[in-house]
Amino acid sequence: MSKKIKTGIIGLGRIGQIHLSNLLFYTQNAEVVIASDVSPATHDYARRLGVQQVTTSAEEVLTHPGVEAVIICAPTPQHVPYTIAAAREKKHIFCEKPLDVTLSTIRLAQQAVEENGVKLMLGFNRRFDPNFSRIGALVRENRIGAPQILRITSRDPAPPPLEYVKVSGGLFLDMSIHDFDMARFITGSEIKEVFVKGDALIDPRIKQYNDIDTAIIVLTFENGAIGVIDNSRKAVYGYDQRLEIFGSEGMAKAENNTPDNITLHNNKIVQTALPLHFFLERYEKAYRTCMQSFIDCIVNDTPSPVDAHDGLMATAAGLAAGISLKENRTVKMEEIIKTQ
């Protein structure tokens, strides 16, 4: 029979719980040996799902002799330290995004992973969304020809609490970072330049934290394509996640997913469903496929589908966006990458 990868999970917050239940119920060839969270209140969730060993110590997971792969869902500042520790223990690593908000720190993780010959996969789950993964495949199969224009719409249903904004790293590193990764994934090209126009159009209080809630981000790519991302922290109609890639031979376009496919006609209007509410609903399948892909790359010894370089480039784009907004100018990616 096929081998089962023994995993340990660090962090049982919202995203940790998703990964845990996916590992238990939907992932082939995986089992969960141990789970940790600093808050004992979360332990009951893991125990009820049948995890035998639950602890407050991340260290216990990182050094557990039976664990082959670690799932890091701790807060961002711990991402790189835990990644390095796990790598040294020769454990494969799945780490939530962003790997870090500083390029030099990301490079430390990258180095540790390479030196120890383990796999590192980052949680850019949207690459595994049925819509977006299929569009990526269509581009790679040359179904749209040479990419020329990329359009990403990525809008949240409601802004996060101001306390969260304070520590979020800002719109570009917290929210747009997913779109930067998607831009690279879909075009199959590195970003070359970034230009941003943005403002606090939803809630001016966000400016206290040097942040914005609405942005249009122009990207140029190494392969010549140009792209645009539009971000908003508040789409009253729900989570808006659309993407379009236009090329010399055609165009592929992904619309939102909805909870049903019903139209209701009355004497005034025709009504259809709002998009699925937020990322848990919209990316439910993406989270599952994402975790399966991690286990698969270990079992089959294939390269990680989302590696440290991917994390570095997405963060670099976020940093470039911040400078562009502040200085009202185009920022070259090499300007960021060379100086950090």
Q: Which residues ranging from 244 to 303 are in contact with its own copies (CB under 8 A)?
A: 246, 248-257, 259-274
Q: Encode burial over 111-134: b for 16+ CB neighbours within 10 A, e otherwise.
A: ebbeebebbbbbbbbbbbbebbbe
Nearer residue to its own copies within complex by CB, 236 or 301: 236
Instruction: Indicate the residue type of 113.
Output: V
Give the interface segment with its own copies, choosing from 69-77, 166-174, 224-232, 288-296 (CB under 8 A): 224-232
The reply on whether position 225 binds its own copies by CB under 8 A is yes
In the block, tokens 């969730």 appear at 45
Distances (CA, A) of 276 to 108, 156, 252: 38, 11, 21
CA distance 216 to 214: 7
The reply on whether position 179 binds its own copies by CB under 8 A is no
The reply on whether position 83 binds its own copies by CB under 8 A is no
Number of shown-chain residues binding its own copies (CB under 8 A): 72
Q: Which of 66, 75, 77, 130 binds its own copies (CB under 8 A)?
A: 130
The reply on whether position 149 binds its own copies by CB under 8 A is yes
Q: Residues 35-74 vs its own copies: string with x where CB under 8 A?
A: ---------------x------------------------
The reply on whether position 329 binds its own copies by CB under 8 A is yes
**Nearest distance from residue 250's CB to its own copies, in Å?**
4
Query: 168 and 76 in contact (C-beta within 8 Å)?
Result: no
**Nearest distance from residue 128's CB to its own copies, in Å?**
12
Q: Residues 15-34 vs its own copies: string with x where CB under 8 A?
A: ---------xxx--------
Nearer residue to its own copies within complex by CB, 174 or 230: 230
Cis omega before residue 160 (within 30°)? no
Dihedral over Cα of 165, 318, 294, 56: its sign: negative
Nearest partner of 69 among 22, 113, 123, 32, judged by Cα: 32
